[in-house]
Structures are given as C-alpha cells and as structure tokens.
C-alpha cells in the first residue's frame, strides 16, 4: 500500500475540505458533482463519483476520498 508524505496528505485534506461545503465531514454526491460539473460532463461526473463511492451509500467519506487520491498517485 502506498504511503503518502505529509505534504501529499495535507493536499488531500485541503481538497476534501474545499469540497465539503457544509463541513459535515463527508462529501455528498451533490457537493462533489457541483464542483466537478464546472469542468466535466454530467456523465463523466457520475462515473467518477461511482468509482470513488465504493460502498454506494451516496456519500464520499474521507477514507473513500483518500483511497481514490492514492489510486491516482499510484497510476501516475
């Protein structure tokens, strides 16, 4: 398993908090799609959220977000 540096972890936290508009510690599909739809099509956003939200509960937890962040670093 990839281990993040302190700096990478801080970047991930900053991104998560920037997206978590109501500061409840999770990203709803609505919060994430609002941010992503500025740049991406609805269909692409749905695919991305489906991939990140591995337990399918309609919310992106910090752990799910962090896992996706690590996956992206590993694929670079």
Per CB under 5 A, the list member of 57, 63, 71, 73 interacting with Ca ion is 57
Are residues 52 and 65 in contact, defined by beta-carbon separation less than 8 angstroms?
Answer: yes
Alpha helices in the chain (DSSP H): 6-19, 29-36, 42-52, 62-75
Are residues 37 and 29 in contact, defined by beta-carbon separation less than 8 angstroms?
Answer: no
State yes or no: residue 16 binds Ca ion (CB under 5 A): no
Per CB under 5 A, the list member of 22, 30, 51, 73 interacting with Ca ion is 22
Closer CB to Ca ion, 42 or 55, in the complex: 55
Per CB under 5 A, the list member of 16, 45, 49, 53 interacting with Ca ion is 53
CA 18 to chain CA mean position, Å: 11
Contact residues for Ca ion, defined by CB under 5 A? 20, 22, 24, 53, 55, 57
């Amino acid at each position: 398993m990839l281990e993040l540096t302190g700096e990478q972890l801080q970047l991930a936290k900053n991104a998560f908090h920037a997206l978590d508009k109501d500061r409840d510690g999770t990203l709803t599909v609505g919060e994430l799609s609002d941010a992503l739809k500025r740049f991406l099509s609805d269909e692409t956003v749905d695919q991305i959220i489906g991939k990140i939200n591995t337990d399918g509960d309609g919310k992106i937890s910090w752990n799910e977000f962090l896992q996706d962040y690590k996956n992206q670093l590993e694929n670079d």
